[in-house]
Chain A
Amino acid sequence: MSSTTIRRRPARTIPAILCAALLLGVASTAVWTGVTALSGDAAFLDAAKRVGASSWSSQAVLVAAALAALAGALLVVAALVPGRYNAYLIDHDGIARAALRNAGLETLLTARANTIDGVDTARTTLAARTVDVHITTYLLDRNDLRATVTGILQHRLDELGLARTPRVSVSVSTHKR
């Protein structure tokens, strides 16, 4: 089988970069403190020792401990929550494995919605099992337009041959006159 996955969950790049940059900052400070102390200037080391001399019950230590625990919990949650796939699998009978990217699906449905008579603007966002489409219109009969748009977009989705077709959910707002 392929070494390439056709769709991926989030790689958690942003938390990883933040965490690695923070570790690099701590490491740089430690190296700088060590180097200056070994070369005879112990000002940074003395400052570090003063911080370390704080008691466990001091307010600064308690706040730092709470912040560290909170940051740790956030990092663990970020790592354990799988996140949404970046594409929808396409049912295909050939040898190819195919997928439609989420951003592409949003573009496609937004463009289709914009071609419907009565729709002024359209915005599409993907949720876990639904596609949320928000449209604005100058029409007063919003229910009729909602049903029309839902039908057309659901039909367009069915045409795509996705392995799991999401349900279209349309919300309509009327421009104020």
Chain B
Amino acid sequence: MRHTAGRLNRAWLIITGSILLVGGALAAATGLGLLEGRSFSGLRAPGRDQPVLAPAAGDQVLAGALLAAGLVLGILAVLWLLAQVPRKHGASTVKLEDPDGKGLTLVEPALLEDAISTRIEELDDVTGARTVIRGSSRTPDITVRATTTCDAAIPYVVTDIEQHIRHDLRASLGQEPASLAVEIDVRATPKKQSSVTVEAVALDA
């Protein structure tokens, strides 16, 4: 339903992991004396008894460099953390134009989403539903997560949901969904009915 930062996470994990892996390996190789006397692209590897850091700059320059590097790294880390919040990326407003081009109706997507979810929850064996609308009124992109009971005939539930959404969108937006994704979840709790209709024939029996 909601979008997560999967690609971003994998990209940054590869970058961070590679830096740690190569850096750690080079540091260990230097400490064990494996790189003693070797040079790479004009850079001579330090000796194993040399200090790790021998800053030539003064304390003020060093402190300034630490502050700047810390700020850049901190901002990147905070942005990465914020990216972990799942995003809905839903449509902002659904705009319905009059066929003559004289009128414009703005519809809050939440209203349509609630209406679709409520209609789906009325289906047999469906105990809950959540809907997200993306795209525009001409190319609505619908994602539905429906929760069913354990005994539900899943293929029929999917067909029912599709038929309801196509019918409702045709009636409300005058369009078929450009794409429709249906996620089915199953809960062990049975469907709760607020009222039950018993036919007279059944009572006679």
The reply on B107 being an interface residue by CB < 8 A is: no
- B74 contact from A24, A48, A61, A87, Cβ within 8 A: A24
Q: Is the interface of A mostly helix, strand, loop or mixed?
A: helix
> If the complex has contacts A27-B70, A67-B24, are A34 and B9 also in contact, measured as CB distance less than 8 A?
no
Q: Is the interface of B mostly helix, strand, loop or mixed?
A: helix
A104 and B179 within 8 A (CB): no
Interface residues on A, range: 35 or more
| Across-interface contacts of A4 in B (CB, < 8 A) | 1, 3, 132, 134, 141, 143, 179, 181
| Across-interface contacts of A45 in B (CB, < 8 A) | 59, 62-63, 66
The reply on A119 being an interface residue by CB < 8 A is: no
A92 and B155 within 8 A (CB): yes
A62 and B32 within 8 A (CB): yes
The reply on B173 being an interface residue by CB < 8 A is: no
What are the 6 closest A-B residue pairs judged by CB atoms, nearest first? A72-B20, A69-B24, A52-B53, A75-B17, A34-B67, A30-B70
The reply on A1 being an interface residue by CB < 8 A is: yes
Q: Looking at the complex, which of A94-102, A125-133, A137-145, A166-174 is the stretch in contact with chain B? A: A94-102
B70 and A34 within 8 A (CB): yes
- A12 vs B126: C-alpha distance when bound (angstroms): 31
B162 and A96 within 8 A (CB): yes
The reply on B187 being an interface residue by CB < 8 A is: yes
A92 and B158 within 8 A (CB): yes
**In this complex, what residue of A is CB-closest to B134?**
A3
B13 and A69 within 8 A (CB): no
- A91 vs B187: C-alpha distance when bound (angstroms): 21
| Across-interface contacts of B59 in A (CB, < 8 A) | 37, 42, 45
